[in-house]
A and B are shown apart, each in its own frame.
Chain A
Amino acid sequence: MKTDQFFHTRRLRKLLIAACCAGAVIAWRLIDIQLVSHQRYAHAAEENRTQIIYHTAPRGRILANNGAVIAGNLPAFSLYYMPAGRPPNKEYTDAFAADISLHLAIPEDEIFRKLNNAFKSGKATLLLSNVSPQKIFAVAELQVYYSGLYILEETKRYYPLGFFASHLVGYMGAMDNKSWLRLGGDADYRLNSKIGKSGIERHYESDLKGLDGGLMLEVDHVGRVKRIIKDNKWRAGSDIYTTLNFDAQKAAQDSIKKSLTGRGAIVALDPKTGAVLAMVSAPDFDPNIFAPYGDEEVLQSKKISIPEYNLAIQGMYPPASPFKIITAIAAAQTGRLDVHEKVNCTGKIILNGREFKCWHRHGEMDFMDGMAHSCDTYFYTLGLKTGASHIEQIERLFRFGRQTGIDLPFEKSGNLYGPAKRARNKTYWFGGDTLNLSIGQGELLVTPVQMAVFAATLANKGKIWRPYYIEQITDADGKNTFEAEPEQIAEAKLNDGVYELIHQSLKGVVDNATGRAAKIKGLDVYGKTGTAQNPHGDDHGWFVAFSAREGQEPDFAIAVLVEHGKGGASAAAPVAREVIKAFYGIK
């Protein structure tokens, strides 16, 4: 150690090594921050400096088949103020506030206070939201005199037809926790976004939404606006054209409300394609009650008060007499139906010591009479002759107990009933069950849409279509992003002449028996009434029908259910009559 007389060389070297270590650690951290985590910090910096004032894109419209707008938009404007530079003097602010308050009819001191805050803080300030187009027009002129006024065009959901197809169309509401989990991953949704809550509004949310626009501002650390980076225009959502027949849907809604209880469901289909022409679930609601959106608690209370349950696809009822058609088909298919054989109806039938009643003492009945008057005794006898297994086979052929596949959530599948089903559930089948089955009572449950599909299948002689309600979806550029293609999901093939026989008998029902209420001049209406026994109250009334212009192929199939309507002939058939008349444009 040569220089040790002056100096501690070894310790000096150690110090230098320590400095190098410190330098290395610092370099490592710098690389970590500036290279490895660059993306994260760059994103944070970008978020820091930008503030976006969003313009919600106009939602796509929902239209009926004649172009009537079921769900549209109303323009709503927001008035922003972007302060720039030094705060102006009081006279300027005073005049400014006075002018705005004059045009918008809001208190001057409120505007004055907001303007003053804007000047003081330098932040982009919302002066007024939800301004009507008339008022904003006047303010637009003020923009010439006062710089910094910004008008943001937004839109508000509006349902011009009110109750029209409310269950199918759905309604809008505020974003909630669950929806945020579902949609929040999409960058275009914000916590204050409005979203579809049910029906088409919810199911086709991504098509209807469009792309939000936004005014991107550069702000400093206390939120003062520095400049406007860019003004992104929104892109409107896609329009959805439904298959709903405006007149039929309107008539269906009005007539079911006028029925005995005003509760029930109607589904009308085009038997040639399966297109939904009308779908009603009563009671219904006016989706406009959510239009102001409001705060969450008010919404909740409103939500409880609205009937969200769509009876047309979710209500399950015994099919009752319309099911006699199945029994008749089963008998005809197995060759056990003799149209001319008569059965004497004494008002009841006794099987194994148990009495099974008919709703009336009909006397001598052949097949046409039995169908026309819906004689239970006749079908008890026919059912016993045919055998429950054959009935169940036909029941399965017409896809009872299975969802129709309509593109709506929460569709119920009903309940299939028959000896095979029983056997699978490892319980027994009794003679009485056969009787119940042949008149459509017992454990059998169907939804109105299933019955409508059934009617449509009878009408087109065997083609089972998947019901659909969206005709096409057209985006903002006018390009069709979706066009409906009717989908036949099964075929109910029967022996020659069976459909014709059924048609003939159903026409007899309407022309001169229980279905008389649905008889319309100039039309061939084929229908079957039904009264579903309900242990919890009054019976439900059914009317299942299809119709055609005289001498033509059937082009309208309908199932009407009036809850607690007491009888199909009295409650449901007149409703169907109104709808059929409206569909064919008969006054």
Chain B
Amino acid sequence: MIIKLSGQVIKRRRLDYMLLAALVLLIATGFLVVLSAAGGLSFGREIIHKYISAVPLAAGAFIFGWLFNYQIYNEQWKAVYVFILALLGAVLFAGAIVRNTSGWFRLGSFSVQPAEICRIALVLVAAAFLTRNSRNVRDFKTLVLFGMLIAPAFLLIMLQPDFSSLVITAPALLILLYAAGVNLFYFALLGAFALAAGVFPILWTFTALRPEVMEAGGFMYIIGRTAHSWVYALGFCAAVLAAFAIVWQGLKQFRVYLPAVFVFIMASAVISGFWCGFFVNKHLKNYQRKRIEAFLSPETDPKGAGYNVLQARIAMGAGGVTGKGLFSGTQSKLGFVPEKHTDFILAVLGEELGLLGTLCVLALYMVLLWRTAAVAGMAGDRYGGLVCCGVFGIFFTYMTVNFGMLIGFVPVAGVPLPFISYGGSNLVASMWAFGLVESVYSRRLTMV
């Protein structure tokens, strides 16, 4: 684009080439690795065909996202919102049922996963809402309204049910909220709630897995008992209230005056998080419980739940620095690595291309995140910046969860690694997301 500004001719780049280069390199790497991973599968040929046909679609999605003015989503955010709900609703009723979940549309021989598109669209809607409420973004009311806006989409996804999708979307929206400037106290509240809701089921699984920890008595014994006994659970809530009251009084002695309401709200966040965890723990599916157990101690049952993670890690470790060479990984070729073309593709990458391969992919991801954050900083309007932050949040979460799963920092969550894993819908949606970032870039604010 050439702008004439007070007689000066400024040539402005419309495309962030570094971002594009990183994307192209990632897709090229991913294609090779999927080619290798699918080689040993009985339906490998089919996968490669689908992958090849998804690439032009993805390119189209990128170009569409880039050329289409992103501000239109802001103006038409209600339409986008209705589109999301309609799509998620339709897939519930009309979707094909695969492995007890109805998250797919069948179009001829192709399957489309609308949740992937909706994740990006949800960011657009959330960003639009936060833009509209930019003046009172620090209010609690905004937060509640934001929650009410997001809840229906979340509910529809949970009805599929597709929890692994939420594993990405929920943290991404939190990052978006943070970037939008939400009051950190509310953030702390939300964090306390989420922490309690997440940590307690893990703790309970742990005490069930290792009864001797509970036998030793003390704190872990009480924690263990709260999972099954209402008396203990209620007692625990009372103890939390009391602990907060004591801390509040203690701080008073040091002349740190906190409003009593703050402390009370904080305590209730923890307690409600506890009850949420209690509820989650009661309704945890067997395979999900197994995954937590495998995360807590993958070596105790190497042939059972921990098998997948262990084998994936063996594959990565066996690759060494330079790897065994493309198409020569024994762990993946002989079927020891599970889900090797999707969630555990990093294991194939690590085995065949070695440390250099994994570090390169990690570096490319860091380039994506850096460029996205940079574009957010130079966005022409608040909406564009927030959209970039949402995209940043999504891919930051993808990277953390997928890499973290392989290196043993995060339980197995069934999350792919975009651009590297096989998955047409995911590839198209991801390219669209970075198309949006490029769109923001090309309409950025330029200081001359």
Q: Interface size bucket, B side? A: 35 or more
Tell me if A181 counts as interface (CB < 8 A to partner B): no
| B321 and A11 form a contact (CB under 8 A) | no
Given A6-B385, A19-B366, A23-B362, decide whether A42 and B317 contact each other with a Cβ distance below 8 A. yes
- Which parts of B336-385 form the interface with A (CB within 8 Å)? 336, 350-351, 354-355, 358-359, 362, 365-366, 369-370, 373, 376-377, 379, 381-382, 385
Tell me if B409 counts as interface (CB < 8 A to partner A): yes
Closest-CB distance, A393 to chain B (whole angstroms) = 69
Tell me if B79 counts as interface (CB < 8 A to partner A): no
Tell me if B267 counts as interface (CB < 8 A to partner A): no
| B407 and A26 form a contact (CB under 8 A) | yes
Tell me if A143 counts as interface (CB < 8 A to partner B): no
Contacts of A46 in B (CB 8 A): 318, 330
Tell me if A33 counts as interface (CB < 8 A to partner B): yes
Contacts of A26 in B (CB 8 A): 362, 399-400, 403-404, 407
Contacts of B181 in A (CB 8 A): 8, 11
A109 vs B416: C-alpha distance in the bound complex, in angstroms? Answer: 49
| A35 and B358 form a contact (CB under 8 A) | no
Tell me if B314 counts as interface (CB < 8 A to partner A): yes
- Which parts of B293-339 form the interface with A (CB within 8 Å)? 311, 313-321, 330-331, 334-336
Q: Which one of B151-159, B172-180, B193-201, B426-434 is at the A interface?
A: B172-180
Closest B residue, CB atoms, query A36: B317
| A37 and B317 form a contact (CB under 8 A) | yes
| B317 and A38 form a contact (CB under 8 A) | yes
Residues 14-35 of A, flagged 1 when their CB comes within 8 A of B and 0 if not, give 0110111011011101110111
Tell me if B392 counts as interface (CB < 8 A to partner A): yes
Closest-CB distance, B346 to chain A (whole angstroms) = 9
Tell me if B389 counts as interface (CB < 8 A to partner A): yes
Tell me if A429 counts as interface (CB < 8 A to partner B): no
| B366 and A49 form a contact (CB under 8 A) | no
| B407 and A33 form a contact (CB under 8 A) | yes
Tell me if A402 counts as interface (CB < 8 A to partner B): no
Closest A residue, CB atoms, query B385: A7
Closest-CB distance, B433 to chain A (whole angstroms) = 16
Tell me if A218 counts as interface (CB < 8 A to partner B): yes
Tell me if A12 counts as interface (CB < 8 A to partner B): yes
Q: Which one of A80-88, A219-227, A263-271, A296-304 is at the B interface?
A: A219-227
Contacts of A350 in B (CB 8 A): none
Tell me if A9 counts as interface (CB < 8 A to partner B): yes
| B373 and A40 form a contact (CB under 8 A) | no
Residues 91-108 of A, flagged 1 when their CB comes within 8 A of B and 0 if not, give 000000000000000000
Tell me if A423 counts as interface (CB < 8 A to partner B): no
Tell me if B163 counts as interface (CB < 8 A to partner A): no
Most buried by B among A5, A6, A37, A40: A6
Tell me if A44 counts as interface (CB < 8 A to partner B): yes
Contacts of B392 in A (CB 8 A): 15, 19
Tell me if B236 counts as interface (CB < 8 A to partner A): no
Contacts of B180 in A (CB 8 A): 8
Contacts of A41 in B (CB 8 A): 313-318
Given A6-B382, A8-B180, A22-B399, decide whether A33 and B313 contact each other with a Cβ distance below 8 A. yes
Give 13 pairs: A residue, B residue, CB < 8 Å, sorted on A.
Answer: A7-B379, A19-B370, A19-B396, A27-B362, A30-B358, A33-B407, A34-B355, A38-B321, A41-B313, A41-B316, A45-B318, A48-B331, A220-B334
Seen from chain B, the residues whose Cβ lies within 8 Å of a Cβ on chain A are 175, 178-181, 311, 313-321, 330-331, 334-336, 350-351, 354-355, 358-359, 362, 365-366, 369-370, 373, 376-377, 379, 381-382, 385-386, 389, 392, 396, 399-400, 403-404, 407-409, 445
Given contacts A15-B175, A33-B316, 10 further A-B contacts (CB under 8 A): A6-B379, A8-B180, A34-B317, A34-B354, A34-B355, A34-B358, A38-B319, A45-B318, A46-B318, A220-B335
Seen from chain A, the residues whose Cβ lies within 8 Å of a Cβ on chain B are 3, 5-9, 11-12, 15-16, 18-20, 22-23, 25-27, 29-31, 33-35, 37-38, 40-42, 44-46, 48-49, 218-222, 226
List the 3 closest A-B pairs by CB distance, nearest first.
A41-B317, A45-B318, A29-B407
